[in-house]
Amino acid sequence: MDELQKRRAQYEQAARDDAPRIEWTEGDETRSAVWRSESGAPAPRRVQVVDDTMTADTAFRLASEGTSLLWRGDYHNARQLLQAIARRIDERRTGKKPRKKPPIAMPEAFHLHRQAQAQRARTLGMLLLPFDGDYAIPLRRAPEVGEACTEAWGPAPGEPFVASLRELLGVIGAHEWRRKGVEIAALGARIHPHYGVFSPVRGEYLALVQRAPLPAGTLAFDIGVGTGVIAALLARRGVARIVATEQDARALACAADNLGRLGLAGRVELVHTDLFPPGRAPLVVCNPPWLPTRPSSPIENAVYDPDSRMLRGFLAGLGAHLEAGGEGWLILSDLAELLGLRSRDELLALIEAGGLKVLDRLDIRPSHPKANDAGDPLHAARAAETTSLWRLAAA
């Protein structure tokens, strides 16, 4: 084992030693295990061991009251119980009598919607599963999840731990997305998103990247590479060299995987940094998170940008990284404006404060299913949403 491997092993062992633990009583024994939560949920304080005799109504009541349920029964019965709890949450929300009050305006309605989502996630996260140190699940009819867990969480920890069934299902779902990939019409190929990396399922912004006129030059910067889909599109459009940045290690690995699959690894340099790489380019592209509010878990970082940190950083630093006559492409939805989270005047003020001017704006309407879902609490905003590619230049 070389020195680097030793240091990594020491770091991983230290992380395991510092990991929170949960305790519960089983039979006459007090037991404990490491607690794992990708969403950042705190270790449960009250844990009750349950099995197939647990009714959905009792499980729902206990979970709603803050008691975590450590499952010892059949794995598939646990999945059915989780679905039953979800139905009761939804029935409780939709079954309430309408209040004789005027509709709630944005952004309060958005914040209430997020609070309801967070409470739903907390309640569903109360159903827990045991794991062995090799990612095996010691339950009847439990599936083999080692490959999916290794992709999402890294090498097996070597000691037992407990995690929520809901998070495991997210890991399994991400594994299937990664295996099958997402068809990208503009590429004529598939992109394979990794766990924790935003999937390019909304293709309208890629259509904007595909049709925007390229400025002269052979170099582009892609700020926040994600899955690598924008860098791949630029390369397919003829940009000879792309420098793509990313601060998330999972996204860097995902982009490297996808660019390798597409045969474009030699044309895209991946840099682990926040925002800009050194130097200037004739084209600098950024697709920041669209909603300026705090994510409720690390996995939401690609959707929520607290106080528009990435947007502000991009606009403030763009001028210093553009070659003379170069362009910056800002890809941004107006959903934040429709939700009352940011105004158009605020966006234009940020552009002006960065010493930039707007050359043009390409717009496209949404095509994703939620735009047509009248039952979605945010349907009015989603149906009116426009995604834009702002072509910016130094003023």
In this prediction, what percent of the chain has a pLDDT beyond 70? 93
Q: In the listed set 147, 176, 205, which residue is the last one of a domain according to the structure? A: 176
289-330 pLDDT tens trace: 999 998 887 778 888 999 999 999 999 999 999 999 999 999
Same domain, 132 and 218: no
Question: Residue 184: what are its φ and ψ, rounded to 5°?
Answer: -115, 105
First CA to last CA distance, the chain: 55
Q: Are residues 168 and 197 in the same domain?
A: no
329 forms bridges with which residues in the sheet?
A: 285, 391
Q: Residue 350 has which token pair?
A: 């940020």
Q: Kindly state whether residues 156 and 222 are assigned to the same domain.
A: no
Enumerate residues 6+ apart whose C-beta is below 8 A from 246.
Answer: 224, 225, 226, 252, 255, 270, 271, 272, 273
Q: Is the dihedral of CA 367, 372, 375, 376 positive or negative?
A: positive
Same domain, 342 and 222: yes
* Domain end among 135, 156, 176: 176
Q: Residue 331, Cβ neighbours under 10 Å: how many? A: 20
Instruction: Judge if 43 and 94 occupy the same domain.
Output: yes
Coil vs helix vs strand at 323: strand
Whether residue 242 has pLDDT greater than 70: yes
Whole-structure pTM value: 0.89
**Is residue 308 domain-shared with residue 201, that is, in the same domain?**
yes
Residues 172 and 189 in one domain: no
In this prediction, residue 370 has a pLDDT band, given cuts at 50, 70 and 90, of confident
Question: What is the domain count for the chain?
Answer: 2
Give the neighbor-by-neighbor strand order of the sheet with 21-26.
21-26, 29-35, 161-164, 127-131, 68-71, 47-50
Per-residue pLDDT reduced to its tens digit, 9-54: 444 454 455 789 999 999 889 999 999 999 889 999 999 999 999 9
How many CA atoms lie within 13 Å of 344's alpha carbon, on the beta-carbon side?
6
Q: Domain limits at 7?
A: 3-176
**Is residue 95 very low, low, confident or very high in pLDDT (cuts 50, 70, 90)?**
low
